[in-house]
Amino acid sequence: MFDLVSEILQTLRHNKLRTALTGLSVAWGVFMLIVLLSMARGLTNSFRDDMMSSGTKQISVWSGRTSKAYHGYKEGRRIKLHDDDMGAIEDALPEDVVEVTSEVYGNAPSLSTTTRHIDGSYTGVYPSYLDREGHKMVEGRFINDRDIEQRAKVMVLATDFAEQLFPPDGKGAVGSRVRLNGLSFQVVGVYQGRWSRDKLIPYTTAKMMQEKKDETGGLSVLLSDNVTTEEKGNNVEKGVRQTLAATRDFNPDDESALWVFNKFVNSLQMENGMNILNIGVWILGLMTLLSGVVGISNIMFVSVKERTHEIGIRRAIGARPARIVTQVISEGIAITTLFGYIGIVLGTAVAQMIAMALADQPFMKNPTVSLAIAFEVTVVLVVAGALAGLFPALKALKVKPVEALRDE
């Protein structure tokens, strides 16, 4: 082993400039691979944080207008969704649907305490709304099933609204009373909104405050664990359309009658897109690295040519072919790994700087290099170095001892 290391170091010293210039191309290729992988990871992390942390196993349905005549109705008819549609979907798809919920949006002159008032818009929701939207409770509790059953006059405030009504930090909000539409509500919790912020009350309570108590603007269909593939997600969407077509009397093939957003299928497609992006980054990085590998292979060919006489002597005194092949391949691995790790260090440093510069940007989350990526790149370097030395090593085996001893 010591002799092998000494021979490798001797080869590197003998071709300093040539090795350095070619090694720079390897370092550059690895550097670009690391930076591209870190950027792709940042985009993937952002996607998963935005799409996957909140409920993705759901299908959202909104009312629309028909584009086809059906059962005596002309096209252009407004399809309105009702509360009983929730139960109809749950009954029609019991194995694929966990729950069907809805939301009610309302406006009031103001939401006020004894001393302060703010805009009075509100949203009636079900208990599953919190997890589905990815919100987090800061203080108190969220709306529960008992609130829904009893049509309780309770409210959960976003942190901004709690601070406005109960300055300076909103700490006194939970347990306090506020007035909305002439009704007294008890604040039972404060939440940190992920994308939106609102004043939330029980869905059934909000329905009592609406003029059209049986209509709803949209439905959220929460999917069960049985739905795991894109095909199943599309089948559930089709089942929802057919169920609502039967209850609301429109053509099941009329896609304009309902506006449907299949978040589950959409997330799977975007996940596939992220995987394709990662594959593309690897291909681009490996193509960049290939130029350096070719350069190192050329160095090894020249080295074998210059050492023809030496190889002939070693073959003549009994050196095994495997020994010569091992030496040449080891030299290729040593050069590739040495300069490759320079590229890894520089690429990691740049990735850290990018992470610091874009720390507050939602589209790029933690674009750094993990140990798994560093290990994968190390494996690539070893394989690339072995390939760089393989063909020169095979050429060395073809050297005949008698002809090599005659070579000047």
Residues 200 and 122: their CA atoms lie apart, in Å, by 6
Q: Report the C-alpha gap between 331 and 275 in whole angstroms.
A: 35
CA atoms lying within 13 Å on the CB side of residue 288: 21
Rg (CA), the chain: 34
Whether omega for the bond prior to residue 367 falls within 30 degrees of 0, making it cis, is: no
pTM (two decimals): 0.67
Segment of 89-93, 164-168, 325-329 carrying the highest mean pLDDT: 89-93
How would DSSP label each residue in 162-224? HHHHSTTT-TT-TT-EEEETTEEEEEEEEEE-SS---EEEEHHHHHHTSSSTTEESEEEEEE-
* Half-sphere exposure at residue 268, Cβ-oriented, CA atoms within 13 angstroms: 13
Average pLDDT over residues 28-56: 73
- Split at pLDDT 50, 70, 90, the class of 317 is low
pLDDT of res. 150: 95
Residue 407 predicted with pLDDT over 60: no
Please give the pLDDT value at position 34. 81
pLDDT of residue 28: 79
The percent of residues in the chain predicted with pLDDT above 70, rounded, is 75
Q: Would you list the DSSP string of 27-65?
A: HHHHHHHHHHHHHHHHHHHHHIIIIISS--SEEEEEE-B
Number of H helices and E strands in the chain, helices first, is 13, 15
The pLDDT value given to residue 105: 87
Nearest 10 degrees: CA dihedral of 149, 153, 154, 159?
A: 130
pLDDT surpasses 70 at 302 = no
The string of pLDDT tens digits covering residues 92-120 is: 999 999 999 998 888 888 899 988 899 88
What is the model's pLDDT at position 249?
A: 92
**80 and 199 Cβ atoms separated by less than 8 Å:** no
Mean per-residue pLDDT, 25-53:
74
User: Taking residues 132-137, what's their average pLDDT?
Assistant: 84
At residue 43, the pLDDT reads: 77
The Cα–Cα gap between 111 and 99 comes to 31
Residue 213 confidence (pLDDT) above 90: no
Instruction: State the residue for tokens 């985009």.
Output: 43
**pLDDT value of position 23:** 72
What's the confidence (pLDDT) of residue 204?
Answer: 92
* Average pLDDT for 278-285: 78
